[in-house]
Amino acid sequence: MIIVGLIVAFAAYSGWKSYATHNHIRTHYQQVARESWEANPDKHPHRMAHYGSFAFRLKHALSVFDFGLESFTGNAVFLEAHKQNSVNFSEASFSTGLLRFGEISMAMILQIILPLVIFFLGFVSVAVEREHGTLKIILSQGAGWKEILIGKSVGLMGLAFLFFIPVALVILLLLFLATEGGLTADIWLRYAGILISYLLFFLIISIITVLISAVSKSSKDALIKLLALWLFFFILLPRTTQALGSYFYASPSKAEFESVVEKELIKTGDSHNPDDPHYKHLKDSVLLAHQVNSVEELPFNYSGFVMREGEKLSSRIYNDHLNDLLETYRKQNSFTRITALINPYVAVKNVSMAISGTDFESYIDFQRQAEDYRYQLAQQMNELQMELISNKAPAPGEKPHTISRDHWKQLPDFKHRYISISSTLRSELWSIIALLGWSIATVGGIIYLSKKAKAI
């Protein structure tokens, strides 16, 4: 307990330090980016669209507990017109290859180390009674197999709680420190979800330990079986399914993805090329619709109109390809996700990451928010150009077309919003069902074994 307590203390400190430091940095530079945007002088709105801004992803308060994919996903993206940039600056990109072996978080301790501790504490629970001959005495004194198995399981869960309850209290303390305005209903629901998930997980692990001990001829045999289960389900199976997912559903590299998008954009039309067939046809249609002979006679700035249409087109093409890429990633993850039905470790890991806001879906949700904001930024600049910029080019010696810098403040700043708890639970429905199913199955295992078990 002392050793595990020290590891938990280190994990809690490192989790809090990472959360506080990174959120401070990201909040600071989000503010710097906003100040830089508003400090621009009077300028042509399309130049402002290309000047762009930044979107930073904030860590969820519960990331102090479960790091999840935080170290491997980017946290900042540059937003500009006509171009969707990738999310960059992940911790993994600045770290050595040792990061692949994982980080010590409180969730990792509860998911991997504590089950191993339970196995070592409980492998003798029934097997040693059989070896010493006391099992026959207990049964002859009126105790039934059901009472013995339930009692041993409850006792083992009590030992697990000695490790889990301090962790739960530390999480609650860190949540109070992380949320200055007090814990919201969403945070309380997420905290309750973590408690329930891990309680079910430890129930499953405790009962499995007792059942293995009950069916084993000796305590040594029980220990070997439990260690083999831990090695297979906690180490080998998750890594194997990840490799299989990447093998069967190969994803393109960043360069390949951007190349495909670029080719389709060129094929569809270039809004910056006045001789492009698509936009030349668009120009003829606009002039005909307004019954004018030239763009100078239009009641709005034609260049802004073209940029607006080009932004719609490029965003649609990019989002279509991005959705295809995300679907590939989901198919890759499905290999691991489906094993939650046979592996409670994968189930609790998926639920834990989702509730902590450090899973794949939370990252994708930020990416969508950033793209929505980028599109809004570009289109608002295009609307300002259509409304306030003249179609007539400035005469020689005249000041270039500009609009007041006061318009820059009209665009709201980017604010990262965390994915809702309802969306989180829906995304991990299979894992939740798996945890409940395993709980029912292990309790059913006690009932079944109580009718079949033998004292010798």
Q: Using 50, 70 and 90 to split pLDDT, how confident is the model at 254?
A: confident
The predicted structure's pLDDT at residue 452? 80
pLDDT of residue 187: 93
Q: List, in sequence order, every residue forming a beta bridge with 77; answer none if it has no partner.
A: 55
- Is residue 132 pLDDT above 80, yes or no? yes
Q: Is 351 exposed, middle or buried (0-12, 13-18, 19+ CB in 10 A)?
A: buried
Q: Which residue has the tokens 């959360």?
A: 19
- How high is the pLDDT of residue 97? 53
Average pLDDT over residues 260-274: 81
pTM for the model stands at: 0.89
Average pLDDT of the residues in 292-317 = 90
Does 103 have pLDDT greater than 80? no
Under the banding of pLDDT at 50, 70 and 90, the label for residue 455 is low
Distance of CA 284 to the CA centre of its chain: 47
pLDDT of residue 51: 93
Q: Model confidence over 336-370: pLDDT tens digits?
A: 888 988 999 999 999 999 999 999 999 999 999 99
Mean pLDDT of 54-83: 91
pLDDT at residue 456 tops 70:
no
- Share the mean pLDDT of the chain: 90
Residues 191-211 have pLDDT tens digits of 999 999 999 999 999 999 999
**Cα angle vertex 200, ends 199, 203, to 5°?**
85
Q: What gap in Å lies between CA 75 and CA 71, rounded to an integer?
A: 9
Domain definitions of the chain by residue range: 1-390+401-456
Task: Specify the higher pLDDT residue, 142 or 29.
Answer: 29
- The residue whose two tokens read 């809690």 is 12
76-80: strand order across its sheet: 53-56, 76-80, 83-84
Q: Is the pLDDT of residue 52 over 80?
A: yes
Least confident of 4-13, 297-306, 341-350, 389-398: 389-398
Q: Please say whether the beta carbons of 353 and 69 come within 8 A.
A: yes
Look at residues 13, 239, 219 and name the one whose alpha carbon lies nearest to residue 112. 239
C-alpha 438/C-alpha 289 separation (Å) is 65
